[in-house]
Amino acid sequence: MLGPASGALRLTRALALALAAYTLSLGAHLLGGGAPPSLRGTAVLVFVTWWLCVIVTGRRLGRLAVTGLLGLCQVLLHEALAATGSADACLSVAPARAMSMMHAAMGSCAPLAPAGTTGMPSPAMAGHAGSQGLTGLTGLTGLTGLTGLTMVLAHAAAAVLLGLCLAHGEAAVWFLASLVRLRRPSPLIRPAILRPLPARSTVAHAPVALVRPGGVGRRGPPWGGPLVAA
């Protein structure tokens, strides 16, 4: 029997769970100040989450199962998005830090200034270095965003609410499947071959003389003939 636990319906159920989990995780990540992942990273994370959901959707999922699955996906996707954002931030901050270090080295090698200003670089160089350093720090600290108990409670509340909604959808899918009852087509049964009855013969038969039971009568010479002496 074809049902929601196999075939295209199973893949569709798993895809709905994966998209819901990823959307929830990405929304929390962006609200917390994280950087959005690239298109390729999004495709990889959605694909991995989808196959994780395919593994567990081989049977009907209740409220606790759906909520627990969303919570697990929240933890895994949160770590994956944080790692992706940290890697992108490091790549963008590294040139700025290198430039600020180069400017600092150039300022230390500059000619000596008048008395009272020894060791200070020019105002333009100092401002440029300061702006680069501030940008780098802002990029790094912005990745953390909301942390601690508030982030955990927000993730848990969102997972519970979304899990209840998906659990109702799961129950509706199984209910409709029980009404439809999709079955594999049964093989065709050939009807039995009916042979015609033999036709009755219409040839006329000669009448049959009836023989009455009893003696055959007296035997002797024919009556009325001449008698021949021996």
Q: What is the pLDDT of residue 136?
A: 37
Look at residue 135 in the predicted model and tell me its pLDDT. Answer: 37
Q: What angle do CA 115, 120, 121 make, to 5 degrees?
A: 125
Q: 197 or 97: which carries more pLDDT confidence?
A: 197
Helices 123-141 + 63-108 axis angle, to 10: 170
Q: What is the mean pLDDT of residues 174-189?
A: 70
Helix 63-108 to helix 149-180 angle (10° resolution) is 140
User: CB–CB of 21/74 below 8 Å?
Assistant: yes
pLDDT at 78: 83
Domain enclosing residue 17, as ranges: 7-102+147-180
Tell me which of 86 and 197 has the higher pLDDT: 197
H helices present in 109-213, as ranges: 123-141, 149-180
Residue 151 placed within a domain: yes
Q: Is 128 among the domain residues?
A: no
Within a domain: 11? yes
Contacts of 177 (CB under 8 A, 6+ apart): 3, 4, 9
- Tell me the mean pLDDT in the region 13-27: 89
Question: Does pLDDT of 161 surpass 50?
Answer: yes
Q: Between 131 and 84, whose confidence is greater?
A: 84
**Residue range 126-133: mean pLDDT, rounded:** 39
> What mean pLDDT comes out for the span 114-136?
41
What pLDDT score was predicted for residue 47? 93
Which of 76-90, 91-105, 161-175, 180-194 has the highest average model confidence (pLDDT)? 161-175
Number of domains observed in the structure of the chain? 1
Residue 223 domain-assigned (yes or no): no
- Token readout for 36 is 């959005």
Q: Which of 62-71, 107-116, 152-161, 181-190 has the highest mean pLDDT?
A: 62-71
SS3 210: coil
* pLDDT exceeds 50 at position 192: yes
Residue 108 has pLDDT above 50, yes or no: no
* pLDDT at residue 188 in the model: 64
In the three-class reduction of DSSP (H, G, I as helix; E, B as strand; rest coil), residue 26 is classed as helix
**82 with 33: CB under 8 angstroms?**
no
Q: What is the mean pLDDT of the chain?
A: 69
- Of the candidate ranges 112-116, 192-196, 219-223, the one whose mean pLDDT is the lowest: 112-116
Q: How far is Cα 27 from Cα 32, in angstroms, rounded to an integer? A: 9
Coil/strand/helix, residue 113: coil
Distance CA 74, CA 145 (A): 16
Identify whether 167 is part of a domain. Answer: yes
Instruction: Evaluate whether residue 175 is within a structural domain.
Output: yes
* Residue 108 is assigned to a structural domain of this protein: no
